[in-house]
Structure 1
């Protein structure tokens, strides 16, 4: 998705500087010259942030506009001001402006600042989406006649509950979570037991053997818990 900004300014020098930054970063922007024009443009566009030039606009108008639009802008709002005083900064930050920047503008610093602000806004959204997707995953996995419920920690085969020890279930779940991947014994020990064991091959082999005895139709010729000679095991 291309980042698009609304720029409210009447200063050619500032517009040219921001235009150059947008070109370098492959961002786009829409230029408006009045607070009213910005409010109207905001209603018509999905934007990544706002750049507001206070050179020709009063502090009161700026704060009133920020108060009006802040809830509509899911991205950083940056205000440029030639009057960089403590009073102005305090007022603007109370209006939930993200950054107050004094002239002259340092393009490289400003570019890095906006990149960081975009990351700050987008990072929680991405993780929230990832969490939602994780939540929506079905905890019940069906493979042939097996049904593995990772929420209730139960396994059934042909609708009959199979009694597994906690470590057997954890090992099966770990293999299921990495379906199709070949996992060596060290990976399985680290993933299931979580600590170093001197004889890793023996403890893994014993638990795999128990799982095959309980779940496979023919433990000598398994169809799901497979050995990959010289490498380890995989679940298919």
Structure 2
């Protein structure tokens, strides 16, 4: 089937981004759709691995969390744990074999940017499980690392505050970052990963569809 102009553009952008990510020692690939991304992610998880994940809508949207629960893995499902106990649960399973997540923005030169309210996702990406799989929709790709951080603060954060429902932050009211110091801020950590260490520890799957925030 012939690709649409949008699909062709996404593929070219995705393939260029893969080269940049690989040059920064990430292990990256491009998948045109979420079905292919799901199969690619599963191929990167060894049988019998212990698996956990962060609060990413993207990994759920492609069916990854459900699929690993059906597979030959040891799954620690944070989503089944009451919110008030979740931090202890995440600490207990911090060194699971495989960690599944997304990020909030990727620059065209291959830098990953994210916000984090509790630090679990940032900590896992920086220093945690030996196998990390990051699923990123093409909608999160921006020109520069500076643009990525702007997206993190003015797109991802306000939307996620709306999603969480009870966050008392200015961005939930106005839709844009106010550089707030609210106790409910989900921007306690704003992280840029410019290099992967050790090499290939973080596998990044760029998906040619809009996914997540």
| TM-score where L is the length of structure 1 | 0.30
Structure of greater Rg: 1
Larger RCO, structures 1/2 (Cα 8 Å, 6+ apart): 2
Question: TM-score of the superposition, structure 2-length normalised?
Answer: 0.33
